[in-house]
Amino acid sequence: MYSGSSDGESHEASQRKIPPASSMPWVRNLRRFIGSGAGLGSEALMELETKRILLDIFKEKQQKSAEAGSIPSFYKKKPEEGSISQRVQRLAKYRFLRKQSDLLLNADDLDAMWVCLRENCVIDDATGAEKMNYEDFCHIASVCTEQIGPKCRRFFSPSNFMKFEKDESGRIAILPFYLYVMRTVSLTQARIDMSELDEDSDGFLQPHEMEAYIRGLIPNLAQLRDMPAAFVQMYCRIAARKFFFFCDPHRRGKACIKKVLLSNCLQELMELHQESEEEVTDTEQAENWFSLTSAQRICDMFLALDRDMNGTLSKQELKEYADGSLTEIFIERVFDEHVRRGKSGGGNSREMDFESFLDFVLALENKDTPEGLTYLFRCLDLNGRGFLTTADIHSLFRDVHQKWIEGGNYELCIDDVRDEIWDMVKPADPLRITLSDLLTCKQGGTVASMLIDVRGFWAHDNRENLLQEEEEPEEE
């Protein structure tokens, strides 16, 4: 009887029809309620709003693509200040950079990796160097992953092993590998720091952003920790200018972050990490543009030249640079090509400001670099034609010749100097010298010095004696 009643009930249930959902009043009311959005929470409303915005953006892009046809879009308008798009962009960038920063090895991780490398390597009997083969490399990768975590695994790829020089047994030295890891971590951290300062997220840094980056580095650089607080702002201006001189050749007022990371400027700045002052000689400090000694020297030089204390340099004041060894025609050309005209017609309308002075010093101290030689070539190109003729060489060297005679030196023939310059450069066109010719001959800096600076010509004329004097102390 029990089983029979059960079968009957199931049979009745199967015969009973379930009404469709659309016919149920409570379902219709619920759908109407949700559809209006009145009953949703804040998160659900935000999700709906986000979907609506994304859908509108997608439709707008489709419409623009249809109108543009085959012409791709090359300009994207930046979001307005304070808009939702800008806030979302900044938040997304912040989270992305934070995630990338968390994947980096810290100082303790690097120390642990070095210990693992030394404990699991072999000593080369011939050289005494610590080396590892590929099996050791894989084993060290496993040990480091256990101790440090998976974030170190990417350094132990087969392609990284193949980047290093191997001996006859197929082993690589552990020190170059460790230095590679440290440099990769350092550059990645620098890129993250610079990207955080990149306000418009276009991959470029403006002068005030670069100065902010350098200001943040000062406490971590051993040789700059004792810098007077009053000099920090001036130092940042001087240091940032070198980055823009070499990484912004077109003078657009912004430097590409990738180019900054790959430049020698950043490496030169990071040399100031050395703790002991005994490790760095006075000569090295003076040659390093980013050292405190060099920055103070440049600042004192500008103040000494600025006799009227108006914050800019006139042509007459700039002629006193390097004890007046530069020619007048070169000073004139510097103002013509590299000094911006003032907006007003006042007395300072044709005077050199501090930033232009820094470019001037950088060009003279880096004459052999493409950037420095490009700066100087614009001054040497008297007619702006993109090349130098024999007449240009004669006009440029005439002032050098005059200073040379006034200094009590022997008489020389300008034509002989002109022929010597032509022999040094060996231009592609025998009638003209281009910037490309100066860069190709590898003596462009020497040629420029001969044409603008009487001391530069004297150094070239006495190069054999100077070379002999440099070799004598080494022999002793």
Q: 51 vs 34, which has greater pLDDT?
A: 51
Last residue of a domain, one of 185, 211, 227: 185
Q: Could you tell me if residue 414 is inside a domain?
A: yes
Last residue of a domain, one of 185, 210, 242: 185
Taking CA atoms, 94 is separated from 193, 202, 205, in Å, by 11, 14, 17
Tens-place pLDDT, residues 228-237: 999 999 999 9
- Res 342: pLDDT: 63
Examine the domain organization and report whether 382 and 356 are in the same domain: yes
* pLDDT of 33 higher than 80: no
Q: Could you tell me if residue 68 is inside a domain?
A: no
203 sits in the region (left: phi over 0; alpha: psi -120 to 50; else beta) called left
Q: Which of 387, 392, 391 is nearest to 330 (CA)?
A: 392
Examine the domain organization and report whether 331 and 433 are in the same domain: yes
Examine the domain organization and report whether 419 and 329 are in the same domain: yes
Q: What is the largest CA-CA distance in the chain?
A: 137
Last residue of a domain, one of 153, 185, 217: 185
Q: Could you tell me if residue 433 is inside a domain?
A: yes
Say which DSSP state 446 is in: H
Q: Which CATH number covers residue 327?
A: 1.10.238.10
Examine the domain organization and report whether 378 and 416 are in the same domain: yes
Q: Could you tell me if residue 58 is inside a domain?
A: no
Examine the domain organization and report whether 147 and 116 are in the same domain: yes
Q: pLDDT band at 321, cuts 50/70/90?
A: very high
Domain that holds residue 164: 101-185
Q: pLDDT band at 403, cuts 50/70/90?
A: very high
Examine the domain organization and report whether 251 and 334 are in the same domain: no
Say what percent of the chain tops pLDDT 70: 83
Average pLDDT over residues 359-381: 95
CB 254 within 8 A of CB 204: yes
* pLDDT of 31 higher than 70: no
Say what percent of the chain tops pLDDT 90: 64
Amino acid identity for residue 25 in this structure: P
Amino acid identity for residue 55 in this structure: L
Q: Could you tell me if residue 133 is inside a domain?
A: yes
Beta strands (DSSP E) in 424-467 are 433-434
Average pLDDT over residues 308-333: 93
Taking CA atoms, 13 is separated from 7, 16, 20, 24, 159, in Å, by 10, 5, 16, 19, 69
For CA atoms 211, 216, 217, 219, the dihedral sign is positive
* pLDDT of 207 higher than 70: yes
> Whole-structure pTM over 0.85, yes or no?
no
- Res 344: pLDDT: 44
- Res 2: pLDDT: 43
Highest mean pLDDT among 46-55, 112-121, 456-465: 112-121
Examine the domain organization and report whether 321 and 403 are in the same domain: yes
If one counts the domains in the chain, the total is 3
Examine the domain organization and report whether 283 and 324 are in the same domain: no
How many other C-beta atoms are found inside a 10 Å radius of the C-beta of residue 355? 16
- Res 426: pLDDT: 94
Q: Where are the alpha helices (DSSP H) in 292-412?
A: 292-305, 315-318, 328-338, 354-365, 370-380, 390-406
Question: Which of 85-89, 208-212, 456-460 has the weakest average pLDDT?
Answer: 85-89
Tens-place pLDDT, residues 324-368: 999 999 999 999 999 987 654 454 468 999 999 999 999 999 999
Q: Collapsing DSSP states into helix, strand and coil, what is residue 104?
A: coil
Q: 346 vs 214, which has greater pLDDT?
A: 214
Q: How far apart are CA 49 and CA 37, in angstroms?
A: 10
Examine the domain organization and report whether 386 and 456 are in the same domain: yes
Average pLDDT over residues 180-203: 92
Number of helices and strands (H, E) in the chain?
24, 7
* pLDDT of 199 higher than 90: no
CB 8 within 8 A of CB 2: no
* pLDDT of 277 higher than 70: no
Average pLDDT over residues 434-455: 94
- Res 275: pLDDT: 67
Examine the domain organization and report whether 228 and 365 are in the same domain: no
* pLDDT of 116 higher than 90: yes
Tens-place pLDDT, residues 68-80: 666 666 677 777 8
Question: Which of 122-126, 130-134, 281-285, 319-323 has the weakest average pLDDT?
Answer: 281-285
Q: 239 vs 59, which has greater pLDDT?
A: 239
Q: Could you tell me if residue 5 is inside a domain?
A: no
* pLDDT of 42 higher than 80: no
Q: How far apart are CA 40 and CA 42, in angstroms?
A: 7
**223-227: long-range contacts at Cβ-Cβ below 8 A with a sequence spacing of 24 or more?**
223/272, 223/273, 223/274, 223/277, 223/280, 223/285, 223/291, 223/292, 224/272, 224/292, 227/292
Average pLDDT over residues 441-449: 93
Which distant-in-sequence residues (6+ apart) come within 8 Å of 257 by Cβ? 191, 194, 195, 198, 203, 204, 205
Q: Could you tell me if residue 111 is inside a domain?
A: yes
Q: Which CATH number covers residue 233?
A: 1.10.238.220
Q: pLDDT band at 284, cuts 50/70/90?
A: low
Chain mean pLDDT for the chain: 86
Q: Could you tell me if residue 67 is inside a domain?
A: no
CB 274 within 8 A of CB 225: no
Tokens of 418: 């002109």
For CA atoms 374, 379, 381, 386, the dihedral sign is positive
Examine the domain organization and report whether 366 and 462 are in the same domain: yes
Examine the domain organization and report whether 153 and 243 are in the same domain: no
Question: Which of 17-31, 195-209, 430-444 has the weakest average pLDDT?
Answer: 17-31
Q: pLDDT band at 240, cuts 50/70/90?
A: very high
